[in-house]
């Protein structure tokens, strides 16, 4: 799982209040965004990928029942109709007959050297892996939904910025048009203002298109047709608490569980499955014992009459033993050993990569948190400066156009601040996905 590098703007900066996490700083965004939590609740029953994964789980259940069926007796019926010719050594005359024969055989495994149990164990491991894959798919889908929801929140703030920027450029264009007759405005300045205005209009169109795309995705993938309120402000992470949480993980005082990462469990199950496969392979070259009972009807010639109907019964132990199969079993065993070695090497490398990724994620989270703390303090100072400009505007010492310029600069800064908060939230989400065991 890669570190979340994309920028996710969040919520209207005009509505942001100074909120801290109600619980641990290590939480998913939906813990403070009720509407997002409601959307995520619909994922298991509506996401097409999870519905498909559910069908695969049912398939693995059927395979488990197939494996367990080996314990039950098996009844086979057979028969033939046609001409049969039998020769005998010695003075016994040959026989020929035309007729119908059939037989019924009941067979149940008695001892197969653990092959049946190994097949059942494989089926259970397959079922467990389907559950793991479902969990991984659910986490991936939920992560995308979180990111999209946060993008919707930021669009509100970004749209306000774009609309204010358009207004500023429209006023500037009007002033330039008024001063054009005096010759104090250059053509380059006029063109620059026109380009800025066109860019602001295009930004608005693009943000609206992004909103439409995300809403269409929710409708298509989740069946979510209800309008979104998007009225809960983004929580303001307590940067000191987040840094303390990161330090507690690094110092080993906080619990982390990389060994129960779903992908690690999935790979471990593949290794266990290969071990069970070798039990089945080894059993293929040993005598297999079954309890068998049969009844067969046929025809035979006797001293007094030909084509006499006969009925034969049997009950006892049936043995089959593959003595030589052209080295097929030997090479199957070699293939299985090599495959297990490859899986073990891959698992060892993945464990090391996962540990490195978790450590790197924590390092990045620490930098993000520290930068967010600095940016928050800087934004607080600039808000005080804007408040002073507001007083100058009210007193007539500052023009409305100049005030909007300052306001726009502060809003752009706060929008960047929201993006930084979003990136921190998604970084925490990524780390939680790494260390959170299966549900």
Under DSSP, the state recorded for 258 is G
Report, as an integer, the average pLDDT of 277-290.
93
Report, as an integer, the average pLDDT of 182-188.
64
Handedness of CA 250, 256, 259, 261 (dihedral sign): negative
Report, as an integer, the average pLDDT of 343-355.
95
CA distances from residue 10 to 38, 270, 305, 416 in whole angstroms, order as listed: 18, 41, 98, 9
pLDDT computed for residue 344 by the predictor: 97
Look up residue 181 and give its two tokens. Answer: 């007759």
Residue located via tokens 């498909």? 52
Going by C-beta distance under 8 Å and a sequence separation of 6 or more, which residues neighbour residue 59?
A: 130
pLDDT computed for residue 24 by the predictor: 61
Question: Is 70 exceeded by the pLDDT of residue 178?
Answer: no
Angle between helix 262-283 and helix 115-179 axes, rounded to 10 deg: 150
pLDDT computed for residue 5 by the predictor: 31
Residues 223 and 218: their CA atoms lie apart, in Å, by: 6
109 pLDDT tier (thresholds 50, 70, 90) = very high
Question: Is 70 exceeded by the pLDDT of residue 13?
Answer: no
Residues 377 and 217: their CA atoms lie apart, in Å, by: 37
Question: Is 90 exceeded by the pLDDT of residue 326?
Answer: no
Report, as an integer, the average pLDDT of 206-221.
86
21 pLDDT tier (thresholds 50, 70, 90) = very low
Q: Which residue has the higher pLDDT, 346 or 409?
A: 346
| Contact (Cβ atoms closer than 8 angstroms) between residue 400 and residue 390 | no
pLDDT computed for residue 22 by the predictor: 37
**pLDDT tens readout for residues 239-260:** 999 999 999 998 887 777 888 8
- What are the structural domains of the chain? 29-435 (1.20.1600.10)
Mean pLDDT of the chain: 84
Going by C-beta distance under 8 Å and a sequence separation of 6 or more, which residues neighbour residue 72?
A: 108
Q: Which residue has the higher pLDDT, 181 or 93?
A: 93
In sequence order, the β-bridge partners of residue 295 are 104, 313
Residues 277 and 122: their CA atoms lie apart, in Å, by: 8
* Burial letters 150-174, b for 16+ CB under 10 A, else e: bbbbbbbbbbebbebbbebbebbee
Question: Is 80 exceeded by the pLDDT of residue 41?
Answer: yes
338 pLDDT tier (thresholds 50, 70, 90) = very high
Percent of the chain with pLDDT over 90: 36
Cα 282 to chain centroid distance, Å, stands at 36
Question: Is 90 exceeded by the pLDDT of residue 230?
Answer: no
387 CB-contact burial (10 Å; exposed 0-12 / middle 13-18 / buried 19+):
exposed
**pLDDT tens readout for residues 292-310:** 999 988 777 666 677 777 8
Mean pLDDT lowest for which of 134-148, 162-176, 346-360? 162-176
pLDDT computed for residue 10 by the predictor: 30
| Contact (Cβ atoms closer than 8 angstroms) between residue 228 and residue 215 | yes
Question: Is 80 exceeded by the pLDDT of residue 137?
Answer: yes
């Amino acid at each position: 799982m890669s570190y979340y590098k994309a920028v996710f703007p969040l919520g209207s900066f005009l509505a942001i209040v100074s909120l801290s996490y109600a619980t641990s700083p290590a939480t998913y965004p939906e813990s403070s965004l009720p509407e997002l939590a409601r959307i995520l609740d619909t994922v298991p029953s509506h996401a097409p990928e999870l519905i498909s994964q559910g069908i695969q789980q049912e398939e693995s259940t059927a395979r488990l029942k197939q494996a367990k069926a080996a314990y039950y007796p098996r009844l086979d019926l057979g028969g033939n109709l046609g001409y049969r010719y039998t020769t005998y050594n010695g003075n016994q005359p040959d026989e020929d007959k035309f007729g119908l024969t059939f037989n019924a055989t009941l067979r149940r495994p008695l001892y197969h050297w653990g092959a049946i149990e190994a097949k059942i164990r494989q089926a259970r491991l397959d079922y467990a892996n389907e559950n793991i894959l479902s969990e991984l798919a659910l986490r991936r889908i939920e992560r995308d939904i979180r990111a999209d929801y946060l993008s919707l929140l930021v669009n509100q703030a970004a749209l306000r910025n774009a609309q204010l920027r358009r207004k500023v450029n429209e006023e500037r264009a009007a002033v330039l048009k008024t001063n054009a007759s005096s010759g104090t405005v250059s053509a380059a300045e006029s063109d620059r203002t026109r380009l800025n205005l066109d860019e602001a209009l295009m930004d608005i169109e693009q943000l609206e298109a992004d909103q439409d795309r995300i809403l269409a995705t929710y409708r298509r993938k989740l069946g979510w047709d209800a309008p979104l309120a998007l009225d809960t402000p983004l929580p303001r992470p307590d940067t000191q608490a987040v840094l303390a949480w990161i330090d507690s993980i690094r110092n080993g005082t906080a619990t982390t569980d990389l060994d129960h990462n779903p992908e690690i469990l999935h790979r471990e199950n593949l290794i266990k499955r290969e071990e069970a496969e070798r039990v089945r392979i080894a059993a293929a070259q040993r005598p297999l014992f079954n309890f068998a009972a049969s009844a067969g009807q046929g025809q035979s010639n006797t001293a007094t009459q030909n084509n006499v109907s006969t009925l034969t019964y049997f009950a006892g132990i049936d043995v089959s033993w593959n003595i030589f199969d052209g080295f097929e079993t030997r090479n199957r065993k070699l293939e299985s050993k090599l495959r297990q070695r490859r899986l073990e090497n891959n698992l060892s490398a993945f464990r090391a990569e996962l540990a490195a990724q978790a450590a790197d994620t924590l390092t990045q989270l620490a930098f993000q948190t520290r930068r967010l703390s600095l940016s928050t303090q800087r934004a607080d100072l600039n808000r005080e400066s804007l408040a002073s400009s507001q007083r100058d505007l009210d007193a007539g010492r500052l023009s409305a156009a100049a005030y909007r310029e300052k306001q726009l600069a502060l809003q752009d800064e706060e929008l960047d601040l929201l993006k930084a908060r979003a990136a921190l939230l998604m970084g925490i989400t990524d780390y939680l996905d790494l260390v959170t065991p299966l549900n």
